[in-house]
Chain A
């Protein structure tokens, strides 16, 4: 258990290329985040979860499905922690699990309209499933 906890945290750090230990907890990432209100674990907290190797919680949190990868937090972080990349890495862990897809093709006919650009569908499929 301890072992796999560590592995998951290492994996998040590796595929995100982020070093959460650089964080000085200034909160600028959360202050910049347009999805802040919707997030159960806020961007600056996300960083602490990775430091504490608590990836299990991150892989099932709601924030994964609200982060826009808009990179406002990445651009503004004074310590180059790249919180948005950590969120994406945790999302990867979630969607790579069996049954982890947040979007299934069957849902699509219900939610599209005639103006919806292809770009939206391909992006959502990339983000929400493996």
Chain B
């Protein structure tokens, strides 16, 4: 199976490993991520104002390219997923944005939100299946107590993202089970890490990340996993960092026995 793939700016630089482990894991699982040509940064945050069109166009271009190839569009970074999926919802359902974006784009055929956007975790859950994943695990990570850290970008607004139940998600816990470990459910797993606020209000982000750390370690987690480079940064650099935070793809690659070849 072949998917269009939108890596985004941070996966090219600071979070290169998040991307490398994902590509190696995809290969091991038998699907291909075909990178969108000349993709542009999604902007990191979804432009909430209905009168902002220009800042939504990089997403529309990627979505349209996937449409032209008749592929689903996969993202890995939580922020890219959030932005691209919300823009796609606008293109499907908000007539004014759809019309104005298409006026800018001047495509042969207008883009009307046809592409399906998937997070890498959704590929594992909905296309491969966690039961299948479990069968492909050669190196189960037995005995690890792992807390899923969702944060906000993957979950909210639930009605538009449709990723999982925004108040009681299970997808990452199911992933943790599939790779042979034990999920630790703790209350702060869907609280925000502070996001971009850590640039100008470090103290606020720190309080929030400390709460998350306390909550996770208090419930017995020995490590956290995330899909978001910004969460990873805030939780490790901007908190008491009582437990380590890994990208979920690192553990996936390890369980599939391909981590060493990536690290080499």
Interface, chain A (partner B; CB < 8 A): 14-17, 34-35, 38, 65-66, 68-72, 74-75, 85, 88-89, 92, 102-103, 111, 113, 115-124, 126-128
In the bound complex, do residue A65 and residue B201 qualify as a contact, i.e. CB atoms below 8 Å apart?
yes
In the bound complex, do residue A117 and residue B237 qualify as a contact, i.e. CB atoms below 8 Å apart?
no
Given A115-B237, A123-B230: A17 touches B50 (CB 8 Å cut-off): yes
Chain A's closest residue to B197 (CB) is A68
**Which of B41-49, B106-114, B170-178, B214-222 lies at the interface?**
B41-49
Interface of A is mostly: helix
In the bound complex, do residue A72 and residue B44 qualify as a contact, i.e. CB atoms below 8 Å apart?
no
In the bound complex, do residue A71 and residue B157 qualify as a contact, i.e. CB atoms below 8 Å apart?
yes
Nearest CB in chain B: distance from A3 CB, A: 20
A14 to B167, CA, bound (A): 29
In the bound complex, do residue A115 and residue B51 qualify as a contact, i.e. CB atoms below 8 Å apart?
no
| Chain A to chain B contacts (Cβ below 8 Å), 14 pairs | A16-B49, A17-B50, A69-B48, A70-B156, A70-B191, A70-B195, A75-B166, A115-B14, A118-B13, A122-B9, A123-B44, A123-B45, A123-B79, A124-B196
Given A71-B157, A120-B196: A15 touches B49 (CB 8 Å cut-off): yes
A71 to B55, CA, bound (A): 20
* Size class of the B contact interface (CB-based, 8 Å): 35 or more
A38 to B202, CA, bound (A): 12
Chain B residue numbers with a CB within 8 Å of A92 are 49
Chain A residue numbers with a CB within 8 Å of B13 are 117-118
Chain A residue numbers with a CB within 8 Å of B197 are 35, 66, 68
Give the most central of A70, A72, A92: most B CB within 10 Å: A70
A111 to B199, CA, bound (A): 7
Nearest CB in chain B: distance from A108 CB, A: 9
A127 to B45, CA, bound (A): 8
Q: A15's contact among B10, B51, B166, by CB below 8 Å, is which?
A: B51
A16 to B45, CA, bound (A): 15
Chain A's closest residue to B49 (CB) is A15
A111 to B232, CA, bound (A): 18
A103 to B44, CA, bound (A): 16
A70 to B82, CA, bound (A): 11
In the bound complex, do residue A120 and residue B230 qualify as a contact, i.e. CB atoms below 8 Å apart?
yes
Q: B157's contact among A35, A65, A75, A128, by CB below 8 Å, is which?
A: A75
A113 to B202, CA, bound (A): 13
In the bound complex, do residue A74 and residue B49 qualify as a contact, i.e. CB atoms below 8 Å apart?
no
Give the most central of B47, B200, B208, B229: most A CB within 10 Å: B200
A68 to B151, CA, bound (A): 12
Chain A CB within 8 A of B252 CB: no
Query: Contact flags (1/0) for B192-211 with A, using CB distance below 8 Å?
Result: 10111111110010001000
Chain A CB within 8 A of B77 CB: yes
Chain A residue numbers with a CB within 8 Å of B236 are 115
The 8 closest A-B pairs by CB, nearest first: A123-B44, A70-B192, A71-B156, A123-B196, A15-B49, A122-B44, A70-B152, A119-B10
